[in-house]
Amino acid sequence: MKNIVLLIACCLFAKAAVAQQPLIAFVPDKDIRDIGLFSEGLAWALTPGGNYGYMDTTGKMVIRPQFREAGTFREGLAIVGQSVNGTIRYGYVNRQGRLVVPCHYEDAYDFSCGRAAVRKNDVWEYIDRQGKTVLGPAFIRIDSIIDKTYGGAYTEIKARPLSFHNGRLLVRKGKLHGFVDTAGHWVIPPAYAWAREFSDGVAVVAGKEIQQDSMPGNSELAQLYNKLPAGGPEYTTLVIDSTGKPLFTTAVKGLEEFVDGAALFYQDDKWGLMDKKGNFLIAPTFADQPYPVSCGVFFTQVNGNAEGNRDGYLQIYNTTGQSTGKTPLCNAEGHCIYDSHRAFFAGLMAVQVEDKWGFVDTTGKMVIPPVYKKISDFAESHAAVKTADGTLQVLRNPVK
């Protein structure tokens, strides 16, 4: 899948001259050094001296600069860090600027479904919005990471806290996986050899174990074949709803998470698209894995014959499996995409043309020309950018 991510958002650059000009929402005060992702109407802002505060979409600093680290707002709370005895400790601030969960955690994750994973005294747990422990260490995902560089001689046991999705948390008990609710009750008991997290209201989990091949008869060849070491167990793929009810079983391999009602899958060395009933929207067709679904579309790259793949193009599909456009990788002047932010946010994806950044929409049209030195994503209606001369600006989403 070489270069697919880098080339995913190429567009007809000849259209750039007539691309819709972005609306500048405001130019921040010159003392502002950097601005983060706007989420829930607020973004962190870095001030001289290294303190972070939060500004709204008009440029007003609504939470005074007082934090040494700052995150993005999720469910009305943002992770912030303050220095405690020379060490950064983390807590949560609300949109009014009140520190509702004090900064006494060594590490912290964003809230999801009213729960957040935090670490204190090297012990992980989940807390509620008031900082009260609601789920203990038994609900934290622990993985064994084997360093293959040394032939597996180095193994690290590492906590990997997961987030809640659709009110469910994926939990492993022994060798089996299941799902609990926000109170820690088993809604879907641990019965699956493997499982993915919930997405779009469903989860992809292991179904029944597939019977291993064997050679019938008692011939010398059959005896020899049947004595060969068996590989790891294989399973069918099952899709369940948030109560654990089976929706359908499929024999396809590599079924990805569902997004916007569809999921990519792998079968017979090809990739296709499936709906939430198990129907093929696109039969296995693509040799290279398409770019994941975001904002209702996905892309697949079609390579050309010219040097540097300059006559290649991208075919764009929606989540019903219909082709919605065809986009060349480079224009007649030789200007091509070098990088992208690899996903659409609020209908736009950041792309790099030569050494400048702009934004394309889900049809491949360049709606904000590539003239910026640095950009952040349009998580909602606004995004911070930095011009070629280093000036910070905040743009308003032109497609909203």
pLDDT band at 37; cut points 50, 70, 90: very high
Q: What is the per-residue pLDDT for 89?
A: 98
Cβ(47)–Cβ(64) below 8 Å? no
pLDDT band at 151; cut points 50, 70, 90: low
Overall average pLDDT of the 277-306 stretch = 92
Q: What is the per-residue pLDDT for 223?
A: 59
C-alpha to C-alpha distances, 93 to 96, 101, 128, 130, 182, nearest whole angstrom: 8, 7, 13, 11, 21
**151 burial type by CB count under 10 A (0-12 exposed, 13-18 middle, 19+ buried):** exposed
Q: What is the per-residue pLDDT for 247?
A: 98
For the chain, give the mean pLDDT. Answer: 89
Count of beta carbons in the 10 Å neighbourhood of residue 281: 17
C-alpha angle with apex 342: 338 to 344, nearest 5 degrees? Answer: 120
Cβ(264)–Cβ(273) below 8 Å? yes
Kindly give, in sequence order, each residue whose CB lies less than 8 Å from that of residue 348, ignoring residues fewer than 6 positions away: 359, 360, 361, 367, 368, 377, 378, 397, 399
pTM for the complete prediction? 0.86
Q: What is the per-residue pLDDT for 333?
A: 80
Does 211 have pLDDT greater than 80?
no
Does 226 have pLDDT greater than 60?
no
Separation of alpha carbons 275 and 282, rounded Å? 9
Name the most confidently modeled range: 101-110, 204-213, 327-336, 343-352. 101-110
Q: What is the per-residue pLDDT for 227?
A: 60
Separation of alpha carbons 328 and 305, rounded Å? 13
Q: What is the per-residue pLDDT for 16?
A: 42
pLDDT band at 153; cut points 50, 70, 90: low
Q: What is the per-residue pLDDT for 4?
A: 36
Put the strands of the sheet holding 262-267 in their side by side order.
Answer: 262-267, 270-275, 280-286
Name the most confidently modeled range: 302-316, 344-358, 381-395. 381-395
Kindly give, in sequence order, each residue whose CB lies less than 8 Å from that of residue 273, ignoring residues fewer than 6 positions away: 262, 263, 264, 265, 280, 281, 282, 298, 317, 319, 321
Count of beta carbons in the 10 Å neighbourhood of residue 288: 15
Overall average pLDDT of the 367-391 stretch = 95
Overall average pLDDT of the 91-100 stretch = 98
Q: Which two tokens stand for residue 316?
A: 């764009």
Q: Which two tokens stand for residue 168?
A: 């469910």
178 versus 324: the higher-pLDDT residue is 178
Closest listed residue to residue 88, CA positions, set 64, 71, 68: 68
Q: What is the per-residue pLDDT for 345?
A: 93
Overall average pLDDT of the 93-100 stretch = 98
Name the most confidently modeled range: 100-104, 219-223, 297-301. 100-104
pLDDT band at 9; cut points 50, 70, 90: very low
Q: Three-class SS of residue 221?
A: helix
Put the strands of the sheet holding 392-396 in their side by side order.
Answer: 23-26, 392-396, 382-387, 366-375, 356-361, 348-353, 337-340
